Structure 1
Amino acid sequence: MGAPAIDTSPGNGHGGWVPYYYWPSLPAAIIFVLLFTVCGIIHIYRLFKYKGWYFIPFIIGVIFQAVGYVGRIGSHYDFYSLTWFIMQSLLILLAPALFAASIYMTLSRLAIALHAENLLIIRARWLTTFFVTGDVLSFLAQSAGGGMMAKSDPEGADRGQKIIMGGLFIQIFFFGGFIIIATIFHNRLNKSPSHVHEKIKGRKYLLTMYFANGLILVRSIFRVIEYIMPHDGPLMKNEAYLYIFDALLMFFVVVVYLVVKPYGDLFDEWKRRKDLGDLELTRSSQHNIFPGTSRDRPQEREAMTSSGDIESALSSRSFAEQKPYGGSRR
């Protein structure tokens, strides 16, 4: 039995407003709920196993995807329900921004872990801050616009659509900039004679980043085209486009980070270097507080230097001899 016809006439009981121009597919929604749920469970297990806390936004994005398609199941059974419509509209729309937040944090960690942060055109500590800030702006704009579009008020929905487009353009702008910076870093890494081993270790992470960013960028462009076109345009009238250019692409992003784990031994090295850097920063601060000690007493300065060298050597030896706790991971 076919799906009921969609009544868009003014007498449909909702002033001609309809949440969809098609009847949401139940099988398609169920399939993607299951796919994102299974992937989400695996990601959560690995999150706690490897303590890759910076990937929490990504996992929240996976949860958003799963719950968003639950909303489409609800819309199948209750077509005019604003609750189900808002749920699926907002969560599916916002999930890629959460994916992007974790991906942005990957590059600086990768550069530090490979001892190649000097090859970045932006300092590692500012790289994450800059791009995550842009991602937050995109997220907030899309959230506000999605909330307005979920209303049955035509004027409010039109304003919401424009705000969403603005948020998507912000996302595309920052994505483009990030891809350029990652490409420059990758090119410098390949050409650096002192990073021969590092470029081999980092290759799969960089290629994974390109793949995921490319898919999210294509999805964002699709969404912009979707909102530029009329409400009853072909992209809005055919549900298949949503599943091909949004659901399927985002599923590939989720899967690729299951295949290439964004945590583990290489990122343990990032944490070790970060902690060691914090220690060195603390020492420098202490010397700045008491500058007269090393200047006025050369013997004490020499002793402090020797002590620091010994401590550094012992620390390096300790790190080299210790079997990393992630060494047995597969």
Structure 2
Amino acid sequence: MSSRRVLLLLVQALLIWDAVLAQSPTTNTTNPASGNQRKRSSIMKYEPSVPGNIIFGGLYMILGLIFSYHVYKNSDKWAICLPIGAIASSLGFFIKITIDPMNLKLMTYIIQNAFIVISPTAFLAFNYMLYGRFITAIDPKFDIHNIKAGSKMEKSRFSFIPPRIVGRTFVWSDIITFLIQMAAGGLQAGGGTKGDAKMSELGFNLFLAAVIIQGISYCLFTVLLLVAVKKLIEERRKSPSMRGNGWMGLDSRTTLIVAQLFVSSIFIIIRSIFRIVEYAGGYDGYLANEEVYLFVLDAAPLVIAIGVFAFIWPPVLLSTIAAQTRQAEQNYSMETTSSAPIPIGQRSDHMRLV
């Protein structure tokens, strides 16, 4: 997964470079006669809010440090994308404070924009990988301690996509849409340079389509999660030994991870809808030129989307869920094969998920 995430970051960086090039001709036509005119002809058409960027930069940095502690303490190397993404986003907001839209330094703008735009891909990747590990934890047929060669395509009754390839499936979906966006950015840049309005329009429409497809991709992942939880609840209700004492027959730890994933997904979708509407409005659109919407509909939802994992670290819960699920499955098998099943009321506590 690490090599794929590196490729994803490179693609995003190239995408941002293309997007900046598409707008760069406007920066050469700055009119010094009026401050307002100069401001309108800059790539960044608003004065960055110092308090707002400090607040969100600080929030992301705090979350990044918390996630770094969890990853280090529990040796969860697979989850390192989360602290990296949070810290990168924090740097983006801090760098943004130094930008003067009246005297814009293109490289500074590219760097801060790259950090802010790229970092959410790490948050999505974490959710994809957490889902796969969650499915293997609740499905007792998976040997979580001995992943055999060639078993990545092993299916689960809870997921119509093999859980061990969910992460790479959706990450590659994101990579493809980013490649489309990169090509669209090139068309916009070429059209702007050559004065070809049709080429620029084609690039814009292609870019918007790719952003919409990216949003749909995460919605499909959320549907995948919904189906898995529905099947899990149905199974728990049918089996007294597997039934937990928490919400809808689930045990408390499983309920917590499900809640974390759903809350995170809801706010990621909110942010995706904002980005789609923002891009649909164009570079000169209202949303693209009012920083408050970036804070309220982009930065804040993402803070909540990853903040739900800060104080209760999901990987810690997964190991307990896996152990309890396999113990309960073993007890259930013994009961169904026994000629004299133990009445439900007389089962000891360890036979049930808690």
Normalising to structure 1: TM-score of the pair? 0.70
Residue 130 (structure 1) aligned to one of 169, 172, 176: 169
Deviation at 1:68, TM superposition (A): 1.2
Partner of 1:168: 211
1:240 aligns with 2:289: no
Deviation at 1:263, TM superposition (A): 1.2
Unpaired stretches in structure 2, ≥5 consecutive residues: 1-25, 33-37, 141-155, 326-354
Separation in 1, partners of 2:112, 2:28:
24
The amino acid across from 1:219 in the alignment is: R
Partner of 1:196: 243
Greater mean alpha carbon deviation, residues 138-147 or residues 169-178: 138-147
Partner of 1:307: none
Separation in 2, partners of 1:48, 1:147:
40
Separation in 2, partners of 1:100, 1:142:
18
Percent identity for Structure 1 against Structure 2: 26
Residue 129 (structure 2) aligned to one of 74, 89, 105: 105
Partner of 1:260: 312
CA contact 1:109–1:267 (8 Å) conserved in 2: no
Unpaired stretches in structure 1, ≥5 consecutive residues: 1-6, 274-330
Aligned length: 267
Distance 1:49 1:29, change over 3 A: same
Separation in 2, partners of 1:140, 1:223:
17
Separation in 2, partners of 1:142, 1:64:
21
Partner of 2:68: 44
Distance 1:11 1:42, change over 3 A: closer
Separation in 1, partners of 2:94, 2:183:
22
Deviation at 1:118, TM superposition (A): 2.1
The amino acid across from 2:172 in the alignment is: T
Residue 72 (structure 1) aligned to one of 96, 102, 105: 96
Greater mean alpha carbon deviation, residues 243-252 or residues 119-128: 119-128
Partner of 1:215: 267
The amino acid across from 1:86 in the alignment is: I
1:181 aligns with 2:224: yes
Deviation at 1:216, TM superposition (A): 1.1
CA contact 2:159–2:224 (8 Å) conserved in 1: yes
Separation in 2, partners of 1:56, 1:145:
31
CA contact 1:82–1:150 (8 Å) conserved in 2: no
Normalising to structure 2: TM-score of the pair? 0.65
Distance 1:204 1:147, change over 3 A: farther
Deviation at 1:106, TM superposition (A): 1.0
Separation in 2, partners of 1:134, 1:242:
25
CA contact 2:128–2:170 (8 Å) conserved in 1: yes
Separation in 2, partners of 1:183, 1:230:
34
